[in-house]
């Protein structure tokens, strides 16, 4: 038990780590612009001739692609500001100057491209390829900014000065020092074989991590850790959420960029992504509990089981499964441990095999808001065939849960009969 307690304590520390929280919360805060870009892309490439003729006739098509390019196409700009903002908030420092500073630093680290003798920012580094640069540069330089403030390297203002004015002057010196530090770092990397900090991060960090995350084994390990933590009562989804977002959101963005560039579905670079995880790795919530609810509603005979399943069915369709997790319960339940942990792993593996084999289409990477009903979220992410794949995964989950539900339900019936006698 001592080893388990240490693991749980470590998991709790990970979930509360200021750096991971800043990345996770910052990238999650990009969801509104991601959804705008996703919807614009869906409308622009919707394969319906009458629709395409209509938006073409009214001149809407180029504006939809502009909307995509100004959201998903430059997602790293939004991420840089938001990660710096969240990180400074976590450290109890003035957040807006930190966000603006993070944005400046990221742009400073982005290489220039030359087009017909005109130098401009390399736009390819502002989308998916720039996300890891945005994460790392925002964390490093925001930490320096906060450190300088903590050490009181600031301009002291007299009493009576409005708080807003005081905050701006307090952050002025740290912002200047941090900003010019970024300029020097950018200059130094210009002398290396990489040419820029952004290229350095992409080559040595982003590309290897993308290669690792494209392996289904990596996602299975993440889901296994998530479910093991859930079993012991820790919100495993929150613990692994930062890793999932950091590793798999760039893969979604890369797929959306490929779709916008006119790539065929089979040519999309990634099978998996954050959307893949959200709609397949535990359908109905952690543990794939929608399958459990279905089995309980059909086969359970105990009053407790049927009542819990009835109350959990509607929330479960919207991926809200706390009622079934804590009501059944699934936490520290030795009878249900195997299916609770196994079902999301099997669902992930089935979806990966189905998509990577070409039987089902690859996901376009569009971001589906949390809480979108099951099957509808699959339809939005990849059409009716992805919704069908979800149904297959749910059915397999039902088969896995069934024998264990029979044992648990029998025990509940015995307890109910004993209580009534």
Rounded to the nearest 10 degrees, the angle between the axes of helix 131-150 and helix 236-260 is: 130
Q: Is the pLDDT of residue 184 over 90?
A: yes
CA-only gyration radius of the chain, Å: 25
Query: Comparing 9-23, 121-135, 227-241, 317-331, which segment has the lowest mean pLDDT?
Result: 9-23
Of residues 102, 81, 92, 126, the one with CA closest to residue 178:
102
The whole-number pLDDT of residue 298 equals: 92
The model carries a pTM of 0.82
- Which of 178, 213, 248 is the C-terminal boundary of a domain? 213
311 and 328 Cβ atoms separated by less than 8 Å? no
379 and 389 Cβ atoms separated by less than 8 Å? no
Q: Average the pLDDT over 101-115 and give the result.
A: 90
- Which of 188, 213, 238 is the C-terminal boundary of a domain? 213
- Provide the pLDDT confidence category of residue 166 given band limits of 50, 70 and 90: low
Query: Comparing 59-68, 205-214, 299-308, 334-343, which segment has the lowest mean pLDDT?
Result: 205-214
> Per the domain annotation, does 8 fall within a domain?
no
Q: Give the CA count within 13 Å in the CB-facing half-sphere of 114.
A: 2
Q: What is the pLDDT of residues 49-73, one digit of tens each?
A: 888 999 999 999 999 999 999 998 9
The whole-number pLDDT of residue 416 equals: 74
Parent domain of 305? 217-420
The helix, strand and coil proportions of the chain, stated in percent and rounded to the nearest 5, come to 75, 0, 25
CA angle 300, 285, 19 (to 5 degrees): 150
Of residues 418, 226, 420, 416, the one with CA closest to residue 308:
416
Based on the fold, state whether residues 268 and 391 are members of the same structural domain: yes
> Per the domain annotation, does 412 fall within a domain?
yes
Q: What residue spans of 117-162 are helical by DSSP H?
A: 131-150
75 and 33 Cβ atoms separated by less than 8 Å? yes
Query: Comparing 121-125, 166-170, 328-332, which segment has the lowest mean pLDDT?
Result: 166-170
Domain count for the chain:
2
Based on the fold, state whether residues 147 and 264 are members of the same structural domain: no
Based on the fold, state whether residues 119 and 233 are members of the same structural domain: no
> Per the domain annotation, does 9 fall within a domain?
no
- Looking at the DSSP bridge assignments, the partners of residue 115 are 118
178 and 148 Cβ atoms separated by less than 8 Å? yes
The whole-number pLDDT of residue 305 equals: 86
Q: Which residue has the tokens 């994460």?
A: 135
């Amino acid at each position: 038990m001592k080893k388990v307690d240490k693991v749980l304590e470590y998991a709790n520390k990970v979930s509360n780590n200021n750096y991971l929280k800043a990345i996770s919360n910052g990238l999650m805060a990009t969801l509104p612009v991601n959804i705008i870009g996703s919807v614009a892309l869906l409308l622009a490439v919707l394969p319906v001739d009458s629709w395409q003729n209509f938006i073409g006739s009214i001149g809407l098509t180029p504006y939809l692609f502009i909307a995509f390019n100004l959201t998903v196409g430059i997602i790293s700009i939004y991420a840089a500001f938001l990660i710096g903002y969240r990180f400074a908030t976590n450290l109890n420092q003035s957040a807006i100057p930190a966000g603006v500073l993070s944005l400046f630093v990221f742009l400073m680290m982005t290489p220039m491209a030359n087009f017909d003798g005109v130098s401009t920012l390399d736009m390819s580094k502002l989308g998916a390829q720039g996300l890891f640069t945005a994460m790392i540069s925002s964390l490093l330089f925001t930490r320096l900014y906060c450190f300088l403030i903590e050490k009181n390297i600031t301009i002291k203002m007299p009493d009576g000065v409005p708080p807003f004015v005081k905050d701006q002057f307090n952050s002025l010196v740290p912002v200047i020092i941090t900003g010019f530090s970024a300029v020097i770092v950018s200059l130094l990397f210009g002398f290396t074989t990489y040419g820029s900090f952004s290229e350095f991060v992409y080559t040595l960090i982003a590309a290897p991590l993308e290669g690792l995350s494209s392996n289904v084994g990596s996602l299975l390990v993440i889901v296994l850790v998530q479910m093991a933590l859930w079993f012991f009562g820790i919100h495993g989804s929150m613990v692994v959420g930062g890793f999932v977002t950091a590793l798999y959101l760039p893969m979604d963005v890369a797929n959306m960029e490929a779709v916008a560039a006119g790539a065929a579905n089979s040519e999309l670079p990634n099978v998996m992504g954050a959307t893949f995880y959200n709609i397949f790795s535990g359908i109905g919530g952690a543990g794939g509990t929608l399958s459990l609810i279905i089995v309980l509603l059909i086969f359970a005979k105990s009053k407790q089981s049927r009542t819990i399943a009835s109350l959990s069915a509607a929330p479960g369709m919207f991926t809200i499964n706390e009622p079934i997790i804590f009501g059944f319960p699934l936490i520290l339940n030795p009878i249900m441990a195997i299916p609770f942990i196994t079902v999301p792993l099997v669902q992930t593996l089935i979806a990966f095999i189905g998509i990577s084999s070409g039987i089902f289409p690859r996901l376009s990477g569009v971001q589906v808001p949390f809480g979108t009903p099951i099957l509808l979220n699959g339809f939005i992410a990849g059409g009716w065939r992805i919704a069908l794949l979800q149904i297959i995964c749910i059915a397999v989950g039902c088969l896995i849960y069934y024998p264990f539900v029979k044992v648990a339900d029998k025990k509940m019936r015995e307890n109910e009969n004993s209580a009534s006698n």
